[in-house]
Amino acid sequence: ETGVTQTPRHLVMGMTNKKSLKCEQHLGHNAMYWYKQSAKKPLELMFVYNFKEQTENNSVPSRFSPECPNSSHLFLHLHTLQPEDSALYLCASSQERTRANEQFFGPGTRLTVL
Protein backbone atom coordinates (compact mmCIF):
# COMPACT_ATOMS: atom_id res chain seq x y z
CA GLU A 1 0.00 0.00 0.00
CA THR A 2 1.22 3.48 -0.77
CA GLY A 3 0.06 6.96 0.14
CA VAL A 4 -3.01 7.37 2.31
CA THR A 5 -5.60 4.60 2.49
CA GLN A 6 -9.08 4.74 3.97
CA THR A 7 -11.54 2.01 4.88
CA PRO A 8 -14.33 1.42 4.29
CA ARG A 9 -14.83 3.29 1.02
CA HIS A 10 -18.60 3.31 1.47
CA LEU A 11 -20.67 3.10 4.65
CA VAL A 12 -24.40 3.18 5.23
CA MET A 13 -25.52 3.41 8.82
CA GLY A 14 -28.62 4.09 10.83
CA MET A 15 -28.84 6.91 13.30
CA THR A 16 -28.45 4.56 16.26
CA ASN A 17 -25.45 2.63 14.91
CA LYS A 18 -21.84 2.91 16.00
CA LYS A 19 -19.17 2.62 13.35
CA SER A 20 -15.56 3.62 12.81
CA LEU A 21 -13.64 5.00 9.85
CA LYS A 22 -10.01 4.04 9.49
CA CYS A 23 -7.14 5.89 7.87
CA GLU A 24 -3.56 4.75 7.40
CA GLN A 25 -0.69 6.70 5.90
CA HIS A 26 2.41 5.03 4.47
CA LEU A 27 4.38 8.24 3.93
CA GLY A 28 6.20 8.58 7.23
CA HIS A 29 4.32 11.77 8.03
CA ASN A 30 3.71 13.08 11.54
CA ALA A 31 0.46 15.00 11.10
CA MET A 32 -2.96 13.61 10.19
CA TYR A 33 -6.31 15.24 9.51
CA TRP A 34 -10.00 14.51 9.14
CA TYR A 35 -12.04 16.61 6.71
CA LYS A 36 -15.74 16.57 5.82
CA GLN A 37 -16.61 17.19 2.17
CA SER A 38 -20.20 18.11 1.32
CA ALA A 39 -21.50 19.16 -2.08
CA LYS A 40 -20.98 22.83 -2.96
CA LYS A 41 -19.24 23.53 0.36
CA PRO A 42 -15.57 24.06 1.18
CA LEU A 43 -13.73 21.13 2.66
CA GLU A 44 -14.32 21.43 6.39
CA LEU A 45 -11.37 20.66 8.62
CA MET A 46 -12.59 18.57 11.56
CA PHE A 47 -9.54 17.41 13.50
CA VAL A 48 -5.77 17.74 13.34
CA TYR A 49 -3.24 15.50 15.04
CA ASN A 50 0.44 16.44 15.26
CA PHE A 51 2.76 13.76 16.59
CA LYS A 52 -0.34 11.84 17.82
CA GLU A 53 -1.58 14.82 19.84
CA GLN A 54 -4.83 16.50 18.88
CA THR A 55 -4.09 20.13 18.07
CA GLU A 56 -7.32 21.15 16.40
CA ASN A 57 -10.97 20.42 17.00
CA ASN A 58 -12.99 22.62 14.72
CA SER A 59 -16.14 22.74 16.88
CA VAL A 60 -17.07 19.24 15.79
CA PRO A 61 -20.10 17.64 17.51
CA SER A 62 -19.22 15.01 20.09
CA ARG A 63 -20.92 12.31 18.03
CA PHE A 64 -17.64 12.32 16.06
CA SER A 65 -14.75 11.02 18.15
CA PRO A 66 -11.22 10.83 16.71
CA GLU A 67 -8.47 8.52 17.81
CA CYS A 68 -4.80 8.57 16.79
CA PRO A 69 -2.95 5.61 18.35
CA ASN A 70 0.25 6.34 16.42
CA SER A 71 1.45 8.67 13.70
CA SER A 72 0.43 6.25 10.93
CA HIS A 73 -3.14 5.51 11.95
CA LEU A 74 -6.19 7.69 12.48
CA PHE A 75 -9.72 6.65 13.34
CA LEU A 76 -13.03 8.48 13.39
CA HIS A 77 -15.57 6.86 15.67
CA LEU A 78 -19.17 7.60 14.81
CA HIS A 79 -22.26 7.27 17.00
CA THR A 80 -25.83 8.53 16.93
CA LEU A 81 -25.22 10.44 13.70
CA GLN A 82 -27.77 12.59 11.93
CA PRO A 83 -28.79 12.47 8.25
CA GLU A 84 -27.02 15.80 7.70
CA ASP A 85 -23.76 14.06 8.59
CA SER A 86 -23.94 12.21 5.28
CA ALA A 87 -20.86 13.30 3.33
CA LEU A 88 -17.46 12.23 2.04
CA TYR A 89 -14.99 11.98 4.92
CA LEU A 90 -11.42 12.55 3.86
CA CYS A 91 -8.26 11.74 5.74
CA ALA A 92 -5.00 13.51 4.97
CA SER A 93 -1.44 13.52 6.22
CA SER A 94 1.54 15.85 6.02
CA GLN A 95 5.06 16.26 7.29
CA GLU A 96 4.82 18.93 9.93
CA ARG A 97 7.46 21.52 10.67
CA THR A 98 8.57 21.74 7.08
CA ARG A 99 7.92 24.58 4.69
CA ALA A 100 6.06 22.35 2.29
CA ASN A 101 2.58 22.41 3.87
CA GLU A 102 1.51 19.79 1.33
CA GLN A 103 -1.27 17.54 2.53
CA PHE A 104 -1.78 14.13 0.96
CA PHE A 105 -5.37 12.94 0.88
CA GLY A 106 -6.90 9.50 0.93
CA PRO A 107 -9.79 8.57 -1.39
CA GLY A 108 -12.38 9.16 1.31
CA THR A 109 -15.24 7.23 2.89
CA ARG A 110 -18.67 7.99 1.45
CA LEU A 111 -20.97 7.97 4.48
CA THR A 112 -24.75 7.79 4.25
CA VAL A 113 -26.80 8.15 7.42
CA LEU A 114 -30.36 6.88 7.14
Partner 1 sequence: QQQVKQSPQSLIVQKGGISIINCAYENTAFDYFPWYQQFPGKGPALLIAIRPDVSEKKEGRFTISFNKSAKQFSLHIMDSQPGDSATYFCAASMGGGNKLTFGTGTQLKVEL
As measured in angstroms, the least distance from the Cβ of 69 to partner 1 is: 20
Report the residue number, 16 or 39, with the smaller CB distance to partner 1.
Answer: 39
Tell me which stretch binds partner 1 (CB under 8 A): 11-19, 69-77, 79-87, 106-114.
106-114
Q: DSSP letter at 41?
A: S
DSSP code of residue 84: G
Looking at residues 48 to 67 of the shown chain, list those that interact with partner 1 (rule: CB under 8 A).
48, 50, 56
Q: Considering the complex, what minimum distance in angstroms separates the CB of residue 50 from partner 1?
A: 7
E strand residue ranges, 71-114: 73-79, 87-94, 104-105, 109-113
Query: By the 8 A CB rule, do 58 and 37 touch?
Result: no
- Cis peptide bond N-terminal to 42, omega within 30: no
Binding partner 1 by CB under 8 A: which of 11, 25, 33, 66? Answer: 33
Report the residue from 4, 11, 78, 87 that binds partner 1 according to the rule CB under 8 A: 4
User: In the Cβ-directed half-sphere of 15, how many Cα atoms lie within 13 Å?
Assistant: 4
- Taking the alpha carbons at both ends of the chain, their separation in whole angstroms is 32
Q: Which of 13, 17, 43, 75 binds partner 1 (CB under 8 A)?
A: 43
The residues that touch partner 1, with contacts defined as CB under 8 A, are 4, 31, 33, 40-43, 45, 48, 50, 56, 90, 92, 94, 96-97, 99, 101-108
